[in-house]
Amino acid sequence: DIVMTQSPDSLAVSLGERATINCKSSESVLYSSNNKNYLAWYQQKPGQPPKLLIYWASTRESGVPDRFSGSGSGTDFTLTISSLQAEDVAVYYCQQYYSTHYSFGQGTKLEI
Amino acid sequence: EVQLVESGGGLVQPGGFLRLSCAASGFTFSTYSMNWVRQAPGKGLQWISYIRSGATASFYADSVKGRFTISRDDTRNSLYLYMNSLTAEDTAIYYCTTESEGGSYSPYWGQGALVTVSS
């Protein structure tokens, strides 16, 4: 199974500053036939289900603010929040959907 | 509006059985693959099972394989998870999720059903 590892486990960032969360997969999640990375990012706030932010590693879900961006390819990926807002406090998860056994990273807790 | 509503959670004794249901609405359920994802208290997300549209394939995480069974009833727009031989490690919130038309990421999640395994 593909293991997803996020770093850091927790992160404190000031309002208006940039937040960067990393995700590394144990195998490449880049599908060569379509050149797509099978990698998604989710945001989870306390007491709520996860919310899809990014898919195909860099495509923002409809309605997600453009301060959220995803990058990377192969095995190394990054979620960036360009200017942290108070409502961005949450736990963030990466997920690979390349293999039939989907897997999530352990989560990164983002605080102010 | 897409809605996923889980039910059937509760307290069950170790070694017991439980069936979770997920009622779907707001989309053509039969054409979408579905997943169950769980989250133990204070822990991260764990994918546990997938069923393809048309029920032509299903997959399980190693931690539940042989004990859990996923199924769907497209006539009732419902997804199910049959859970046998439950242990304390199965205590979690269980979410049903849809996949997208374009890929196997999950744009829609239910609110979750809490399963507590305890004597």
CA A27 to chain B, closest CA, distance in angstroms equals: 18
Structure confidence at residue B101 (pLDDT):
83
Q: Report CB contact under 8 Å: A103, B111.
A: no
Using a CB-CB cut-off of 8 Å, the residues of chain A touching B59 are 100-101
Using a CB-CB cut-off of 8 Å, the residues of chain B touching A101 are 47, 59, 61
Q: Hunting for tokens 């807002």 — which residue is that?
A: A85
Angle at A98 between CA B60 and CA A19, to 5 degrees: 110
| Helix ranges, B46-109 (H) | none
B53 in Cβ contact with B110 (< 8 Å): no
Q: How far is CA A96 from CA A35, A77, B6, B45, in A?
A: 15, 11, 24, 12
Give the model confidence (pLDDT) of A69-111 as tens digits. 999 999 999 999 999 999 999 999 999 999 989 999 999 999 9
Strands B10-12 and B113-117: parallel
Give the model confidence (pLDDT) of B60-91 as tens digits. 999 999 999 999 999 999 999 999 999 999 99
Q: How far is CA B118 from CA A102, B21, B86, B88, B92, in A?
A: 28, 21, 9, 6, 12
Give the model confidence (pLDDT) of A2-27 as tens digits. 999 999 999 999 999 999 999 999 99
Q: Report CB contact under 8 Å: A107, B50.
A: no
Structure confidence at residue B103 (pLDDT):
83
Percent of chain A's residues with pLDDT above 70: 100
Residue among A20, A2, A23, A24 at smallest CA distance from A11: A20
Q: Does B112 touch chain A (CB under 8 A)?
A: yes
Tokens of residue A89, six digits: 């406090």
β-sheet bridge partners, residue B65: none
Q: Least CB-CB distance to A49: which of B46, B103, B109? A: B109
Structure confidence at residue A100 (pLDDT):
84
CA A49 to chain B, closest CA, distance in angstroms equals: 6
**3-class state of residue B54 by DSSP:** helix
Segments of chain B scoring below 70 in pLDDT: none
**Average pLDDT over every residue of A42-47:** 96
Which residues of chain A have a Cβ shorter than 8 Å from any chain B Cβ? 1, 36, 38, 40, 42, 44, 49-52, 55-56, 61, 91, 93, 95, 97, 100-107
